[in-house]
Structure 1
Amino acid sequence: MGFEDRKATQEERIRMRGLVEKAMQEGAVGISTGLVYPPNVFADKEELIEICKGAATYDGCFVVHVRSESSHFIEALEEVIDVSRASGVRLHLSHFKAIGGSEPAQIRRSAGAA
């Protein structure tokens, strides 16, 4: 897939999950991604869930930099919480912050999202 701006096919998601499972068997502790950076920005929730299932099988964690720290912070936070719940993977946010004029309200609101 590389830098193609498209959804992964079911076959590609299964292959990615298999690669994560193999890495976990070889000693990885989880997966890490930055969803604001290419090519990770192209991953949709279904892709993230499938990949994270591979880590969850081995009690791994999902270390993630969310898609937005400003106007879409709440949605970005809800996305990774949904991924964690749907896949069973443990979640670790790389940065828990909101930037911009509404950051205090967003942080307070996000505390209730989990």
Structure 2
Amino acid sequence: MITCTVRYEIDPDQLEAFEVYAKAWLHLVPKLGGVHHGYHMPHEGPNDIAYCHFSFPTLADYESYRAKMWNDPECLRAYEHAKATKCIRRYDRSFTKPLFTGATVDELGL
């Protein structure tokens, strides 16, 4: 599994517009084969930084999703919304391999 983390720099005056964008992608990522782990909106601290996390079984699956989204009318509408409202100033992506299963310290030999 591979998880994409997107760090957004958003316009704090367009927080409601960004939430609309986020809610659309919470629907669109699963529609296109991924698992969305949610958006993390500004609360305490910087008022212009948000994150989202979503996963695909493989990097190839993520790349397939990226290709499909440019032909999906709903995805294009979400992008147009962000562009029209200028709610996103910039963003960057990073990829990690998630670890979801823990173990007791005894099981780990600690």
Say yes or no: TM over 0.5. Answer: no
Return the structure number with greater helix share: 1
Return the structure number with greater strand share: 2
Larger-Rg structure: 2
TM-score (norm 2): 0.25
TM-score (norm 1): 0.24
